[in-house]
Amino acid sequence: MAILINENTQILIQGITGKSGALQAKVMKQYGTKVVAGVTPGRGGQEVEGVPVYDLVSEAVRAHRIDAAISFVPAVFAKDSCMEIFDVGIKFLVLTTEGITDHDMVDIVAYARTKGARILGPGTAGLISPGKSKAGAHPPRMYTEGRVGVISKSGALSYEVGKNLTEAGIGQSTVLSVGGGPVWGMTQKDVVELFQADPETEIIVLLGEIGGTMEEEAAEYITNHLNKPVVTMIVGRAAPVGKSLGHAGAIIEGNKGTAAAKLELLQKAGARIASSPREIIQIIKEMRGE
C-alpha cells in the first residue's frame, strides 16, 4: 500500500507543455505513473510524451478519470489554476510552484477545504510511492519499495535520506516533502496521520528543520494518537535567531521554531532522535532487531 498515490492513481499535469511540466511528464511516465492528461490553455489538441493536452481541466475530466493533479503553473496564475482543479472535484493537488503570494495561498488552502481537497505544497518536490507511482521531482533511483514512511519539509533532504535508506536495504512506502511555506496545504501532522492509518507503513521518519511550529504540532499528534515508532532528525541546529534556512517557512522567531524546542517535544512524544542519515539507519535497524 502507500499514501496519497499508488499504482492505480491517474494523474493530470497542469502546465504540461512548459519546460518543467514536459520533463516531469517524461520521467513520471517512464517510472510507470499513470499520467493520463495535461492542461495548458491554448495548447489543446497537442500531445506531450503521448499524453493528450487540453485547454481546460473540465475538458480533461470529461475525457478521463482523474484522481490527482500536479501543477507546474507559474505563480501569477497559480490561484486560478488551483481553483479550476478543485471546482471539477479533483481531491489531491501537488503544487510545485514557488513564489505564490501568502494572500493567494490562504485563499487556495481555504477553497480546497470547502471542496474536501488536499494540497501538497506550495514549493514541494512532490512525492513518490516507490515501485508504484510518483508525482514530482524525486529521482526514482534513490528509492525502493518498503515499509518506512518519510516526511520532510525539504525536497533535497528527502532525496538524501531516501538514498541512504535504499543503500542500506531499507525500503520506503511513500516519501514526500511538504514544501517551503510559510502557508502550507498538508502539514507534517497530516502526513503522520495518513501513515498511522496505512497498514504497510511500519516506521515513520520525520525530517524537520528550524522555523515555524509544524514539528511541534506533529509531536502533539504523535503523543496522543500514534502507535508506530518515529525517528526524527532536525536540521539547522546551529542557526541563529531570525535566520532563514532556504525558504520562508524556516525562520526562527524568538523562542519559537528552534531546533532545541522541536527536539525536546518530539523526544517527549517518544520519537527517537537522530543527528544524521546514518544514525537514522542505525535506529531503524535497532527497531527491527537487525
Q: Active-site positions?
A: 247
Tell me the C-alpha distance between 99 and 102, whole Å: 9
Tell me the C-alpha distance between 108 and 159, whole Å: 27
Tell me the C-alpha distance between 49 and 30, whole Å: 10
With contact defined as beta carbons under 8 Å apart, do 63 and 52 qualify?
yes
Pull the grid cell for residue 113: 477545504
Stretch (H or E) spanning 281: helix 277-287
**3-state secondary structure (DSSP) of residue 16:** coil
What is the per-residue DSSP string for 102-171?
HHHHHHHHHHHHHTT-EEE-SS--EEEETTTEEEES--GGG--EEEEEEEES-HHHHHHHHHHHHHTT--
- DSSP for residue 209: E
Pull the grid cell for residue 178: 511538504
Tell me the C-alpha distance between 216 and 205, whole Å: 15
Q: Classify residue 133 as left (phi > 0), alpha (psi -120 to 50) or beta.
A: beta
Pull the grid cell for residue 12: 493530470
- DSSP for residue 9: -
- DSSP for residue 176: E
**Helix residue spans in 1-74 (DSSP H):** 19-31, 57-63
